[in-house]
Amino acid sequence: MRFGVHIPTCIEGMMYPVPFAKPSDILPTALLCERLGFDSVWGNDHMTTQRYVQKEFPDPPNFFEPLMTFAYCASRTTRLRFATGIIVLPMRNMPVLAKQVATLDQLSGGRVTLGVGTGAYREEYEALFPDARGARRGTIVDEGMQALRLLFTERKATFRGQAVHFEEVECFPKPLQSPMPIYAGGNHPEVRRRAGQWAQGWMPAVLSPEEITRGIDDIHRAAAAAGRDGAAIDIAPQFAVSIGRTHDEAVARFRSSQLFQHLESLKKSTLREQTGGFDQRNLIGSPAEISERVRTYQRAGVTTCSGMLFVANTVTEMREAIELFGQEVLPNFR
């Protein structure tokens, strides 16, 4: 089992309060994760403030672009992997993104994982592309994943799709890793199809063990239809983590957090197909309780706990929670 921590990139106003992290907070958090033995750090991708966040906070959140953030952190670390959770493909130009990711993979010594997806907020896409309001973002992701693979592998890459189109692009250097790991992010059935067809990993959010097992079955069927080995696909769900010395302490912290409010906001989009409470879909409790919960997910087929979001109202609280997890949960899986 591998473990990854979500570090501050584009998390203010949604997962955490505004303000939350300063630029000077980011590298020390990554270094803490490397020292404690976490396998990776993850960062999400936003370009503009969501309307509900604008209504809640008087000041705009700071969104630190993830690839730039990772380049900064990679230069000061040696083992830690850097993963996007997720890059919103409809907001990106594919040849430019391929160039950025390949460069980062080379400079980091092959320590990049590219998680991609549609994005939870269509309003954000429409703010960037007001003339493309009728576009089907899922088509952009389907074509984008295929186009990126061509750009990462072909001498001259050409792609002619409905939404993605470029001609004879020579994108060098190629990533150091071969294949460059691309993860399909999201909970929708179409994401499971993408993971089986094209990806090296599946990154859903806050699913129960039973939902994970059903999702793996879908992925394996899609992989078999594409002539791929589904067993080689990393199952890497994302969870909120509220860790406390006692169960009650952890639950109270979760219920009073900005992250809980953010998950509530996603019930009409990313999490719309879920039933039941968040307590059964995340890692909440004492170190012993969380360890047992991780074992349950492991038995369900999870191979990576990706981009764990530690419940906190300040960076200091977040780091204390990361440290407690690293000291009292990680050793149970090493």
Mean pLDDT by 10 residues, the chain (334 residues): 97 93 98 98 97 94 98 98 98 98 98 97 95 93 98 98 98 98 97 98 95 98 98 97 95 85 69 62 96 98 97 95 98 96
Q: What is the pLDDT of residue 150?
A: 98
Per DSSP, the three-state class of 235 is strand
Output the pLDDT for position 270: 62
Q: Identify the CA nearest to 2 among candidates 245, 320, 197, 236.
A: 236
- Is the Cα dihedral 175, 177, 179, 180 positive or negative? negative
* CA–CA distances in Å: residue 82 to residues 61, 79, 137, 200, 228: 23, 10, 25, 15, 25
pLDDT of residue 272: 59
Tokens of 43: 């960062």
pTM value is 0.95
Establish whether the linkage from the previous residue to 86 is cis, with ω within 30° of 0: yes
DSSP run (H or E) holding 114: strand 112-117
> Distance between CA atoms of 203 and 196, rounded to whole angstroms?
12
Question: What pLDDT sits at residue 261?
Answer: 76
pLDDT of residue 258: 82
Contacts of 320 by beta carbon, 8 Å cutoff, 6+ apart: 312
